[in-house]
Chains A and B, each alone.
Chain A
Amino acid sequence: MKVIRFTLNGDPAELGVRSDETLVQILRERLGLTGTKQGCDLGDCGSCTVLLDGEPVLSCLILAADVEGHTVVTIEGLADGDELHPVQRAFHEEGAVQCGFCTPGMVLATTALLDANPNPTETEIRQALSGNLCRCTGYTKIVRAVKRAAEASRIGTRGCES
């Protein structure tokens, strides 16, 4: 058991973890943040995507002990109280959600994309989301939602948090 300290959704977190615990395990089972989904658990599906120092990574393949001193953002950290994050709102308004299992990962990957590239082409969107699989195959509306979120942040209804 090792005590790790890191920033989780903007707040300091401190937790004792075993060497063999993964980030998704401590998020879901120890911290109760079940918004991060555990899908294949083997790095294929992208449903466990979180932001580590602002970059999308797969929390099923990251040792919990490795986030010591780093910043983690999960889907729970995006909304401002009851006010949805612009990416969340765009997914909601476009109906880019079917069963919802891939959605937290899709939203976080989109947030990272728009932080780095506020005006992505469709190819760039598809490339950035290529590690996130939607088994309902609802990709068309997801891509549309990313474009809508990009547009919303461009016209400044509310900028992406960056």
Chain B
Amino acid sequence: MMALPAFRLMKPVSLTEALSTLAENPGALPVAGGTDLLVSMKQGLFNPTHLVDLKGVPDLQRIDISEHGVWLGACLRLSELRDHSEIRRRYTALSEAANLVASPPLQNRGTLGGNICLDTRCWYYNQSAFWRHSLGYCLKREGNICRVVPGSKRCYATFSSDTVPALIALGARVKLAGWHEGALTEREFPLEDFFVEDGIRRNVLRPGEVLVGLRLPPAQAIRSGYRKYRQRASIDYPLVSIAVALRIAEGKLENVRVVVGALASAPVLAVETMAVLEGSRPTPDLLGRAAEFVTKRTRPVKNQASSPAHRRHMARVLCRRLLEQIVMAPGA
């Protein structure tokens, strides 16, 4: 049995109470579904003094869908996104991504906000305290060298969220809330700017700050999809994943967004692929050619199963298949 370290569970019932509790306790961490955090705590990767449970904050459970777009509260469960008929119809990539996170029992518990703030992953990091101690730890936690890229000053742990590539492809903006000198602070910006290419820091969330939710622009006949490659077709984190969103107007591709997951420490916009596709008339040859560029901005390292070359190859394969499926589908 792997026991949790001792901590105090706090159950705030409003956002301001949650933020002030986090501000008053610098050793505290927010928790929602707990499906990732509790595992890491059992492995000794986090030892918070308090856990501040966000599930009781009503503002974070909200979902609003209108012609102006969508608001998704951070504590919506992945199964709710997966099963929501309007999300599936208008923002297909998000529904497909939620359906591919871990396994159904974890989707019943894990939340959207948790999946966005997911810790980066590495063979040498996601291990028990005993295992890591026997090796002498690593850069990301308690050690001072990278086991994957010896001599590296930075951590290469892999960005592993499924929903994020889909959300970035769909043009999501993220909203954060913090607590400064007794008052609520808020900021909102495009989701791609939330992440940093650093396996340790991984995003721009400040201590005590909380992800409140996401805003999606109106769907307006957007076509989208998400593909994931993993060791087992259930449970596992992605070895590579691809999200695509685009529109087709008068036979030409428009507003093309292609995002690659799990090949770096942050999600990567495949701008070369997007440039080839934007404004063009799709043919099987063009889609195949565009997919060839999808890994151009990624340099994965050997820190999880299968070789970096194979993961990049599968990125190109998934990208081509997904583009063909989305473009050939009957009008959205």
Binding site for B on A (CB under 8 A): 2, 18-22, 25, 38, 41-44, 46, 49, 52, 55-58, 61-63, 65-66, 109, 127-128, 130-133
Residue of A nearest to B55 (CB): A66
- Is the C-beta of B85 less than 8 angstroms from some C-beta in chain A? no
* Interfacial chain A residues near B42, Cβ < 8 Å: 41-42
- A61 touching B235 by the CB < 8 A rule? no
Q: How far is the CB of A72 from chain B (nearest CB, A)?
A: 13
Q: Of B18-26, B32-40, B181-189, B324-332, which stretch is located at the interface?
A: B32-40
- A46 touching B105 by the CB < 8 A rule? yes
Q: How far is the CB of B184 from chain A (nearest CB, A)?
A: 26
- A19 touching B105 by the CB < 8 A rule? no
Q: Knowing A43-B102, A130-B234, A131-B106, say if A38 contacts B51 (CB, 8 Å).
A: no
A-B contact pairs, 21 of them (CB 8 A): A19-B7, A19-B8, A19-B9, A19-B51, A20-B7, A22-B38, A43-B39, A56-B104, A56-B108, A58-B109, A61-B34, A61-B35, A61-B38, A62-B109, A63-B34, A63-B38, A65-B9, A127-B104, A130-B104, A131-B105, A131-B234
* Interchain CA distance A49-B108 in the complex, whole Å: 12
* Interfacial chain A residues near B144, Cβ < 8 Å: none
- Is the C-beta of B286 less than 8 angstroms from some C-beta in chain A? no
Q: How far is the CB of A63 from chain B (nearest CB, A)?
A: 6
Which of A20, A66, A127 is B4 in contact with, Cβ under 8 Å?
A20
**A-B complex: 8 closest residue pairs judged by Cβ atoms:** A131-B103, A130-B234, A19-B9, A20-B4, A56-B105, A131-B105, A41-B2, A55-B108
* Interfacial chain A residues near B34, Cβ < 8 Å: 61-63
- B103 touching A130 by the CB < 8 A rule? yes
* Interfacial chain B residues near A38, Cβ < 8 Å: 1
Chain B, 85-130, CB within 8 A of any chain A CB:
102-106, 108-109
Majority DSSP secondary structure for residues of B touching A: loop
* Interchain CA distance A113-B9 in the complex, whole Å: 32
- Is the C-beta of B5 less than 8 angstroms from some C-beta in chain A? yes
- Count CB-based A-B contacts (< 8 Å): 81
- A44 touching B9 by the CB < 8 A rule? no
* Interchain CA distance A65-B34 in the complex, whole Å: 13
* Interfacial chain B residues near A21, Cβ < 8 Å: 4
Which of A44, A66, A109 is B235 in contact with, Cβ under 8 Å?
A44
Binding site for A on B (CB under 8 A): 1-9, 11, 34-35, 38-39, 42-43, 51, 53, 55, 79, 102-106, 108-109, 233-235
Q: How far is the CB of A50 from chain B (nearest CB, A)?
A: 9
- B102 touching A61 by the CB < 8 A rule? no
* Interfacial chain B residues near A65, Cβ < 8 Å: 9, 11
- A42 touching B6 by the CB < 8 A rule? no
Q: How far is the CB of A112 from chain B (nearest CB, A)?
A: 9
Which of A22, A41, A43 is B106 in contact with, Cβ under 8 Å?
A43
* Interfacial chain B residues near A55, Cβ < 8 Å: 79, 105, 108
* Interfacial chain A residues near B105, Cβ < 8 Å: 46, 49, 55-58, 109, 131-132
Given contacts A41-B2, A42-B42, A56-B105, 6 further A-B contacts (CB under 8 A): A22-B38, A41-B1, A43-B35, A52-B108, A131-B102, A131-B104
Residue of B nearest to A128 (CB): B104
* Interfacial chain B residues near A131, Cβ < 8 Å: 102-106, 234-235
* Interchain CA distance A95-B9 in the complex, whole Å: 43
Q: How far is the CB of B106 from chain A (nearest CB, A)?
A: 6
* Interchain CA distance A49-B43 in the complex, whole Å: 21
* Interchain CA distance A63-B55 in the complex, whole Å: 12
- A20 touching B6 by the CB < 8 A rule? yes
* Interchain CA distance A65-B79 in the complex, whole Å: 22
- B235 touching A22 by the CB < 8 A rule? no
* Interfacial chain A residues near B8, Cβ < 8 Å: 19
Residue of B nearest to A22 (CB): B4
* Interchain CA distance A25-B42 in the complex, whole Å: 13
- B4 touching A42 by the CB < 8 A rule? no
* Interfacial chain B residues near A18, Cβ < 8 Å: 6
